[in-house]
Amino acid sequence: MDQRLSNKVAIVTGAGSSDRGDGVGSAISITFAKHGCKVLLVDKNETYAKNTASAIRDLAGESVICNSDVTKISDAEKMVDLAISSFGRLDVLVNNVGILGVGDVTNVEEENWDNVLDTNLKSMMLTSKYAIPKMLLTGGGSIINMSSCSGLRGSGQFDSIPYSTSKGAINTLTQSMAVQHGRDNIRVNSIAPGLIYTPMVSAEMTPEQRDLRVQAAPLGTEGTPWDIALAALFLASEESRWVNGVVLPVDAGLIVTTPLSGLHYN
């Protein structure tokens, strides 16, 4: 087993999945375990978390399940305390939990707006609030916030203003935290996935919309959760020791396209 994260301990929120590795949090957790990391699997759905734990067990890795709602401050504190009591330290926090939300500013429901912002953004503040003091005890760590290409530029065609807004705010949060905690040897970066096919995406997308995504990708295909997991592995490892405050697109080049990018000339 590769040991790029040997003796490290990570918390991954949204770590469960309906099947092994078909969600981003699950793929990250399994990849970390494969590289020697002990992982606290945080998810509201305990059955989904058990799917990830089973995959880690098959790798002879170590994980503990934490059934928590990270939009609640008490659960965020409980999560970090469980990581310390289970594994003795904390080196990596992956703030991955996230949901979609529908509507533009004229028709979005207030409850929907609040739910998306609480889940996608507020949860990162709460988990980091309790994780950072524990990282300081062992000389620092790495925080990885899951953003989106939707947070880097407008994506009004998808009619999801709460989601895009939350992801844009995550990027600013990431950069502010990177400056504030860098001197403590705590690096804070975010990953901006694009065109990744996951259960959350499939539930919101028609086959026609999926085909349009494939056509929009400069590499001509969709990405998988494992592509995001490998980016997270890099940011969690010492290989990225000089990387701080970065918003890393993992999107096949989507973010640098224009409406005319799909037109190819001979």
User: Catalytic amino acids?
Assistant: 163
Which residues, including other chains, have CB under 8 Å from residue 172's CB and lie 6 or more apart?
none
Distance CA 38, CA 55 (A): 13
Kind plus residue range of the DSSP H or E element containing 146:
strand 141-146
Amino acid at 55: A
Which residues, including other chains, have CB under 8 Å from residue 127's CB and lie 6 or more apart?
11, 13, 70, 76, 79, 80, 93, 95
What one-character-per-residue DSSP string does 33-86 give? HHTT-EEEEEES-HHHHHHHHHHHHHTT--EEEEE--TTSHHHHHHHHHHHHHH
Q: Where are the alpha helices (DSSP H) in the chain?
A: 24-34, 46-58, 73-87, 110-117, 123-136, 161-181, 199-204, 207-216, 225-236
Distance CA 214, CA 222 (A): 6
